[in-house]
Amino acid sequence: MPITLSKSVHQVIHEVGEVGQYLWQKGWAEKNAGNLSVDITDHISITPANLKKFPIKPATGLLPEFAGRSYLVTGTGTRYRDIQKYSSECLCILQISRDANGFHLLWGGKREGFKPTSELPSHLLMQNSLHQSGAKEKVVLHTHPNELIALTHLPETAGEEKLNYALWSMIPEAKIYVPRGIGWVPYRLTASQELAEETVKALERKHKVVMWEKHGVLAVGKNAIEAFDLIDAMNKAAILYLLCKQTGQTPQGLSREQIDEIGKTFAPKD
């Protein structure tokens, strides 16, 4: 029997389903692209006796620091567009076992052959980094925003400094909403340990949005809506940049002085 979900967990699942629809409608979630995790440890309470009713499913790549923590994660091969309607088939809640040699499947995963996202070890590394730093962000969201990915293919906007200047120069909100800019991870093989480790380094530099070159974007937020909003704001700036380029001209953009003024005026308090 699955655990009984609290109202707060139901709200998390609702938000994840809502964001799944946004990602699909924007064309950022082709087929089963993308994945998501939410640290819901503070919302899950289960006694050791009841936990034993959920057999341990073996998993590799788990660290001792993960033990006892609970996460809502998307499943391998599931589609963002299906989450809202089929949440218990597309998502699962798992708790890492006491010995970190696997996990207890507490809820969801009803689809035949269900497995958590293949990038679960990567998500757990990122979630652990956020937890250890005391960050308020609980959601790790990965998706494929078209225009941001396109900019990583252009020499003039490829690289952390060039990308952020191009985006910040397009619209003041880009600097306001993502004041520390997008972290940059050079191309690494999908689902690789190297990709995860490079992303963790970007999160440790306090980036809330991380660009995976020629692949996609990862964002963290206090909830799924916030993580989506950060990507949406930066992709809007990417759209404006590419619209200007379509005229055959290089965008004039905001000056570095204007961007600095915005940064000082709206400097983050954290």
In angstroms, the CA 269 to CA 255 distance is 24
- H/E stretch holding 246 reads helix 224-246
CA distances from 62 to 96, 106, 122, 214 (A): 8, 18, 10, 28
Show the tokens assigned to 175. Answer: 């600097």
In angstroms, the CA 19 to CA 30 distance is 14
Contact 252, 245 (CB under 8 A): no
Establish whether 119 is a catalytic residue: yes
Task: Specify the 3-state DSSP secondary structure of 91.
Answer: strand
- H/E stretch holding 199 reads helix 193-204
In degrees, rounded to 5, the angle at the alpha carbon of residue 140 between the alpha carbons of residues 136 and 146 is 130
CB-neighbour burial class of residue 27 (10 A; exposed 0-12, middle 13-18, buried 19+): exposed
> Considering 119, 137, 160, 226, which one is annotated as catalytic?
119
In angstroms, the CA 138 to CA 124 distance is 11
Catalytic residues: 119
